[in-house]
Structures are given as C-alpha cells and as structure tokens.
C-alpha cells in the first residue's frame, strides 16, 4: 500500500510592484513644539491607510475634547464625526513603523526633550509610535471609548475613538499617475481633521484643523523578481524620499493572511513584512 | 527488538528533528554598513569591508520584502528590496512523499505482523509468534522512520516560503554609491516646500585637512531641495550635467594668483530636475565645508548655467560639449575673500 499525498500549495510568490507614498500637512512640519502651545495632535498611519490621531493636553488644566464636533473630512468630501455610536472602526492594519528621531517626544513632556526643546531620540517616557510599533497603538492614557466628551487631564493624552481609513493611503490598488512633490492643490488625495476642544469645561470650544495631502505617489513595477531595482528606481526619482516626515513603502503581493484548504487545512501566514512606515505628522495650537 | 525500545527510538528521533527552517542569503555592500531586518530593527549586522558580507537567515514562516541598510556615517535606515526567486523546496516535498510511503508500508506490515502474532499465540505456536513479533517490530520501526522523515517535512510545508514556493537570491547587494547624497543625509526641513535657503554672501572653505565627512553646513547654501516648486514641466537639466569634471584651478586675490591647483575634480550630483549639489575636490580633499547647491538653467548656447541663490558671484558654466568653468568670487578662507577659478572637462 502506497500512500499518495497531495502536496498542493498556495502557488508562487508574486510581488507586483513597490509603491512609495509621502504625506504632508499644508504647512511645514515644525522642528519643535512652541512653548505656549496648549494642544497637540499627532497623527499616525498604518499600511491600510487607517489614521489614528492622538491628542495631547500640553497644559496644567483639564482639556475637554468634544468628539461630536470633531470630524474627518474624507478625500471624497464626506464628513465623519468622531462620535457616532453607529460607526465602529477596528484597526486591521499594524502601526509598524520606524520612527526613531521623527516622533515628537510628547510622551516625555516633563523631560528635557519636551516643549520648546529640540526633537531628538526618544527618552524613557512612554512614547507613541516608538520604533517598530506592532498591532495596537501605545498611548500614555487609556484609550477612550465612544464618548461625546472626553476629559484629558493635565499633560495627558488620549487616542481619538476611531481610526478611520483614508482611501488612497497605503492602498495597494491605488493607481494614479506617479506624482512627486506636488502642491496641495494638485494632490488627488486630500483630507482634513477638525478637533474641537475646550479648556473652560465646555463653555467655549476652539478648533484645531489640520489639512493633509499625499505629496508623492510613486509606483514602480517589479520585473524578474528584482525588488531591489524597484526601490533604487524610487530613490532616483525622489532623492529626498527619506526626508519626509511621513512616508511608507508598500510591496503588493499575493500572500494571503489565511489560505484555503492547502494540504487539507487552513494555513495562517501572519509574518508578512511587506510594508515600511516611517514617521507621523503633528499639529499644535 | 522489543516494541518498547522501538518506540523509544522513534520518540528520540522526532525530538531531534527541527520543525522550522530559514531562508538564507548574503548581503554585500560598502564597509561599515549596518544591516537590519524589518522584524528586528534594534540589532544589526555590520559589513566589515568592501569585500565582506553578512549572512542573513529569514525564518521560512515569514515573508521579508526588504532589509534596512544604514551606511557608515548615515543617520537613516534605508529600505532596500530583497530580490526573491521561485524555490519549490523539492527536497522537503520528496521527504514528505518518502516519509509517507515508508510510514504507510510500515504501518501495513505492523498490522499484518500483529494479527499473525496474535493468531500464532492463540494456537500455542510460540516460535511462530516470535517470528511474527519480529515482523511487527520491523513494521513499527519503518513506520517510525517514515514519521521521522515525513512529520517535520509536513510541518515545514505549512511555512510561508514553502507554501508560496519562494526563497531569496543568495547574493543581495546594497549599492550605496547609487544613492544620492540627499538620500543619505535627509536633514532638510520637512513639510510643504518653502524657501528655506539661507542667504550668505560667501561660501566658507575650511582649512585643508583630510578625513572629515562633508556635512551640509546650515550657514551655507543648504543641500536640500528648497526652491519653490513650479508647475511647469521642465526638462531634467540636472541629469544632463551630472558627473565628474576633471581639470585645474587657481585661487586669486584680485588679479594675483595665490595658489595653483593641478588636480581638481568637480563632482556634480543631481538633486532634482533643476538642482544639483557641487563638490570641489582638490588633490583628494574637499575644498569647501559643505557641498554647494546650484540651480540649473539652460543658456542660449545650448549649454547650462549653474547659479546660486543670493550669491550671483558664484557661477558655473557648462558648455554643450562638457567643458566646465567654475568661477566663485566669494570664497571665504579665514575671513579673507578670494576668487576660485576652475576649468575642467567632463570625464
């Protein structure tokens, strides 16, 4: 009796291209936060284009965050509130990022590298977006659930309740003409976030509005499985690719997270390093 | 051999057999370059010299699309793609087939031997019983051997590299010379492009010394791309003129020649379509503290003029046949202003 065993596999690896994207705000990213700033919001993105804002209270007062009056204006113009009990978001992408030297050390405000100081290597304080953050976001305080108003204590921080996916960011299927260093008005992906906050227990609210846009989008096909050539091609097209505050590389491929019926069982492939994300974007007032 | 001993041997073999493997390759590059994997950005391996390499082993239950290279003196980790190949891992698959076949034969023999042994025992035939017992033992051993070969092979086939039939090219290269100065030193202001170039009246030249890295001087013309972007689609002038120009030069005070230089290289590197960085190397040494940033414009003679913002006394002219004339009237050496004049031809 000879046992014949099926040896089916999921097929052959195929990496179709290497894509690079850089995101900017419509103002130059600061080198340090102003000493008299009261609020800062740091925006993190993952490979699936999900955006996670983290709000920092830079004062010794209590900050009230009004999520009913805080919005994301999507690239298609639609407006989504951060307080909407009917909408549930769950981040499916990892916030894996190499952020050394690029993330504002807002977690260590009381440290020497805090407000007004030069940004540098992150100190011992809990920092958001530390190098190679995987999976869930780390934050100084407990992540807020869906509440209309959120109170942030002195020098505290909180992650906004939702991580909306922004179409066009990190999307492997995004195919547009390659653009390099375009102005905001020429970008095909523009979106905004409005954060409403108060320092007088909700009597008066101010707004911090940040406008974002994709400034560069370069996609280079992978030929003959030479992934390195695609990277070099991107670097030749944009020599300052790594100087951007926020950029990501995506390698679209055919590896599925869960396969179907290979050798009679379902296989899970979870260790896929096909995305490199660097940095974050910040705004303050 | 007693069945108990056979089972003990099988267990020992299984425990020694690994269930996971790694895809191995080597990375070559410039000496001093650190190599990181994306799943471990803390610990690096260093390439000691130009002819050296580092060996990387990526677990087979993983797909790694890139590595991170950090050249010596560079403050940034640079993603470099990993070239891959189709690898059917036929050795492991053959082992699975062989293991399965041997195991199934062994199981069959074991079953037959066991039945026969029991039957012989029932008939009181001890000699026959022992013979069939031996056959049973052999069958069990074969099953064990088959399991030893087949079981780990089966677990390997679940791994990503085996499921998607790939491996990595054995020799990967990090080609640092291909990367621009700007890429290796991303220290410019970030965000929406604004005019950030500092206005200086002169470019400082440091005193001649060897072995110092050139870093962009924040006081002098910034190496960064800092001009305001235009929407007009212009030709890539920088690509046409980039390269190394070899020639001679002199340092003048007014009309008097203070120094003559017989070995001058002017290295022009592209930053973007209309901006270049210019390094002047005199007898193997950097002439200025930092590379100079120029904007490239076409002139009416089908050549190019390189101009420096806010420093009209520093001009480079390149003719259509590759002849370069560098004339900088505001070279500062120890707070004395000189004129540097270089004539060179493209290599």
Domains and CATH numbers, chain B: 1-188 (no CATH), 237-347 (2.40.128.20)
What pLDDT, on a 0 to 100 scale, did the predictor assign at position B105?
Answer: 60
Q: For residue B343, name the pLDDT band (cuts at 50, 70, 90).
A: very high
Q: Is the pLDDT of residue A223 over 90?
A: yes
Q: Is the pLDDT of residue A112 over 80?
A: no
What are the sequence ranges of the domains in chain A? 17-284
Condensed to tens digits (0 to 9), the pLDDT of residues A53-80 reads 888 888 889 999 998 899 999 999 999 8
When pLDDT is averaged across residues A98-117 and rounded to a whole number, the result is 33
What 3-state DSSP class applies to A121?
coil
Beta carbons of A235 and B164 less than 8 Å apart: no
Give residue for tokens 């993190």: A44
Report pTM. 0.61
Cβ-contact B54, B31 below 8 angstroms: no
Closest CA of chain B from A107, distance in Å:
21
Cβ-contact A86, A80 below 8 angstroms: no
Rounded CA separation B123/B126 (Å): 8
CA quadruple B328, B330, B334, B336: dihedral sign? positive
What pLDDT, on a 0 to 100 scale, did the predictor assign at position B24?
Answer: 92
Q: For residue A257, name the pLDDT band (cuts at 50, 70, 90).
A: confident
Dihedral angle, C-alpha B9, B10, B12, B16, nearest 10 °: 140
Q: Is the pLDDT of residue B215 over 70?
A: no
Residues of A in contact with B186 (CB under 8 A): 240, 242-243
Name the least confident of A180-184, A218-222, B5-9, B10-14: B10-14
When pLDDT is averaged across residues A177-194 and rounded to a whole number, the result is 89
Rounded CA separation A14/A256 (Å): 11
Closest CA of chain B from A272, distance in Å:
5
Q: B34 - beta bridge partners?
A: B46, B70
Rounded CA separation B110/B141 (Å): 9
Q: At what angle do helices B126-157 and B90-122 cross, to 10 degrees?
A: 160
Which is higher by pLDDT, A271 or A140?
A: A271
What 3-state DSSP class applies to A196?
strand
When pLDDT is averaged across residues A223-230 and rounded to a whole number, the result is 96
Condensed to tens digits (0 to 9), the pLDDT of residues A9-28 reads 778 999 999 999 999 998 87
Percent of all residues in chain A with a pLDDT value above 90, rounded to a whole number: 27
A265 contact partners, CB below 8 Å, separation of at least 6:
B158
Rounded CA separation B338/B335 (Å): 10
Q: For residue A82, name the pLDDT band (cuts at 50, 70, 90).
A: confident
Chain A, chain B: beta-carbon pairs less than 8 Å apart: 187
Nearest to B272 by CA among B230, B305, B313: B230
What 3-state DSSP class applies to B256?
strand
Cβ-contact B117, B129 below 8 angstroms: yes
User: Is residue B57 less than 8 Å (CB to CB) from chain A?
Assistant: no
Condensed to tens digits (0 to 9), the pLDDT of residues B158-189 reads 788 988 999 999 999 998 766 776 666 665 43
Give residue for tokens 């806010």: B310
What pLDDT, on a 0 to 100 scale, did the predictor assign at position B325?
Answer: 94
Rounded CA separation B127/B273 (Å): 93
Cβ-contact B68, A98 below 8 angstroms: yes
Nearest to A52 by CA among A92, A20, A79: A92
Residues of A in contact with B20 (CB under 8 A): none
Chain A residue with minimal CA distance to B196? Answer: A28
Which is higher by pLDDT, A122 or A2?
A: A2
Closest CA of chain B from A225, distance in Å:
6
Cβ-contact A33, A276 below 8 angstroms: no
What pLDDT, on a 0 to 100 scale, did the predictor assign at position B147?
Answer: 57
Residues 127-156 of B with CB under 8 A from A: 154
Name the phi and psi angles at B244, rounded to 5: -110, 130
Rounded CA separation B13/B36 (Å): 35
User: Is residue B191 less than 8 Å (CB to CB) from chain A?
Assistant: yes
Residues of A in contact with B270 (CB under 8 A): 239
Residues of A in contact with B84 (CB under 8 A): 13, 15, 225, 227
Rounded CA separation B70/A269 (Å): 29
Neighbours of A23 (CB within 10 A): 26
Residues of A in contact with B226 (CB under 8 A): none
When pLDDT is averaged across residues B190-194 and rounded to a whole number, the result is 36
Q: Is the pLDDT of residue B287 over 60?
A: yes
Residues of A in contact with B103 (CB under 8 A): 3
CA max distance for chain B: 124
- Report in angstroms the alpha-carbon separations of A259 from A189, A203, B154: 33, 54, 16
Condensed to tens digits (0 to 9), the pLDDT of residues B6-50 reads 555 555 444 444 445 889 999 998 888 899 998 887 788 888 776
Nearest to A278 by CA among A20, A68, A56: A20
Beta carbons of B164 and A132 less than 8 Å apart: no
Closest CA of chain A from B60, distance in Å:
10
**Distance between first and last Cα of chain B:** 81
Beta carbons of A274 and B231 less than 8 Å apart: no
Residues of B in contact with A262 (CB under 8 A): 158, 163
Chain A residue with minimal CA distance to B161? Answer: A13
A82 contact partners, CB below 8 Å, separation of at least 6:
A67, A68, A70, A71, A72, A160, A161, A162
What pLDDT, on a 0 to 100 scale, did the predictor assign at position B216?
Answer: 34
Which is higher by pLDDT, B344 or A87?
A: B344
Residues of A in contact with B160 (CB under 8 A): 255, 269, 271-272
Rounded CA separation A1/A7 (Å): 19
What pLDDT, on a 0 to 100 scale, did the predictor assign at position B90?
Answer: 67
- What number is the ipTM of this complex? 0.79
Beta carbons of B100 and A3 less than 8 Å apart: yes
Percent of all residues in chain A with a pLDDT value above 70, rounded to a whole number: 71
What pLDDT, on a 0 to 100 scale, did the predictor assign at position A87?
Answer: 59
Name the phi and psi angles at A19, rounded to 5: -115, 140
Summary mean pLDDT of chain B: 72
When pLDDT is averaged across residues A164-179 and rounded to a whole number, the result is 76
Residues of A in contact with B65 (CB under 8 A): 15, 227, 251, 253, 273-274
What pLDDT, on a 0 to 100 scale, did the predictor assign at position A7?
Answer: 55
Rounded CA separation B16/A7 (Å): 25
Pick from B83, B188, B191: CB nearest A27: B191
Chain A residue with minimal CA distance to B178? Answer: A232
Condensed to tens digits (0 to 9), the pLDDT of residues B292-325 reads 888 888 888 889 999 887 677 788 999 988 999 9
Beta carbons of A7 and B163 less than 8 Å apart: no
């Amino acid at each position: 009796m000879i046992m014949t065993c099926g040896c089916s596999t999921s097929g052959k690896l195929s990496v179709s291209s290497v894509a690079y994207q850089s995101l900017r705000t419509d103002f130059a990213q600061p080198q340090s936060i102003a000493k008299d700033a009261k609020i800062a919001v740091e925006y993190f993105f993952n490979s699936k284009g999900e955006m996670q804002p983290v709000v920092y209270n830079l004062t010794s007062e209590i900050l009230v965050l009004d999520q009913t009056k805080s919005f994301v204006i999507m690239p298609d113009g639609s407006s989504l509130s951060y307080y909407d009990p009917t909408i549930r978001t769950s981040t499916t992408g990892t916030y894996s990022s190499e952020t050394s030297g690029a993330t504002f050390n807002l977690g260590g405000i009381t440290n020497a590298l805090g407000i007004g100081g030069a940004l540098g290597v992150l100190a011992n304080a809990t920092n958001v977006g530390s190098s190679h953050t995987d999976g869930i976001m780390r934050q100084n305080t407990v992540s807020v659930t869906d509440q209309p108003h959120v109170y942030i204590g002195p020098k505290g921080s909180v992650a906004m309740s939702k991580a909306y996916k922004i179409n066009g960011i990190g999307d492997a299927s995004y195919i547009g003409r390659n653009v390099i260093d375009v102005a905001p008005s020429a970008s095909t992906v523009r979106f905004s976030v409005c954060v409403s906050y108060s320092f007088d227990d909700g009597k008066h609210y101010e707004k911090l509005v940040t406008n974002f846009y994709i400034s560069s989008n370069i996609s280079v096909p992978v030929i003959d499985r030479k992934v390195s050539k695609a990277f070099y091609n991107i670097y030749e097209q944009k020599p300052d690719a790594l100087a951007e505050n926020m950029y990501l590389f995506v390698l679209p491929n055919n590896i599925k997270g869960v396969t179907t019926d290979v050798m009679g069982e379902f296989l899970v492939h979870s260790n896929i390093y096909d995305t490199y994300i660097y940095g974050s974007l910040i705004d303050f007032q | 051999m007693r069945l108990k001993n056979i089972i003990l041997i099988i267990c020992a073999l299984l425990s020694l057999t690994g269930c996971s493997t790694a895809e191995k390759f080597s990375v070559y590059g410039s000496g001093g370059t650190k190599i990181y994997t994306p799943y471990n950005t803390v610990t690096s391996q260093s390439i000691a010299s130009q002819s050296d390499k580092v060996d990387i082993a990526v677990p087979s239950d993983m797909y790694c699309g890139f590595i991170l290279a950090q050249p010596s003196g560079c403050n940034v980790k640079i993603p470099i793609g990993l070239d891959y190949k189709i690898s059917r891992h036929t050795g492991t698959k053959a082992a699975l087939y062989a293991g399965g076949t041997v195991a199934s034969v062994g199981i069959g023999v074991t079953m037959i031997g066991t039945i026969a042994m029991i039957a012989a025992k029932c008939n009181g035939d001890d000699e026959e019983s022992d013979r069939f017992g031996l056959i049973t033992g052999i069958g069990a051993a074969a099953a064990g051997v088959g399991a030893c070969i087949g079981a780990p092979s089966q677990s390997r086939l679940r791994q990503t590299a085996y499921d998607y039939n790939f491996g990595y090219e054995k020799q990967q290269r990090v080609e640092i010379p291909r990367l621009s100065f700007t890429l290796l030193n991303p220290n410019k202001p970030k965000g929406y492009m604004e005019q950030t170039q500092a206005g200086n009246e002169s470019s400082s030249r440091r005193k001649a010394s060897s072995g110092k890295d050139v870093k962009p001087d924040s006081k002098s013309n910034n190496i960064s791309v800092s001009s305001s972007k235009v929407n007009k689609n212009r030709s890539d002038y920088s690509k046409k003129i980039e390269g190394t120009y070899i020639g001679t030069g002199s340092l003048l005070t007014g009309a008097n020649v203070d120094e003559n230089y017989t070995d001058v290289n002017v290295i022009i590197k592209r930053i973007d379509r209309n901006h270049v960085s210019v390094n002047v190397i005199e007898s193997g040494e950097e002439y200025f503290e930092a590379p100079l940033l120029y904007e490239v414009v076409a002139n009416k003679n089908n050549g190019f003029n390189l101009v420096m913002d806010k420093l009209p006394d520093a001009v480079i002219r390149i003719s259509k046949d590759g002849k370069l004339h560098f004339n900088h009237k505001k070279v500062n050496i120890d707070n004395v202003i000189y004129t540097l004049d270089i004539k060179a031809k493209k290599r």
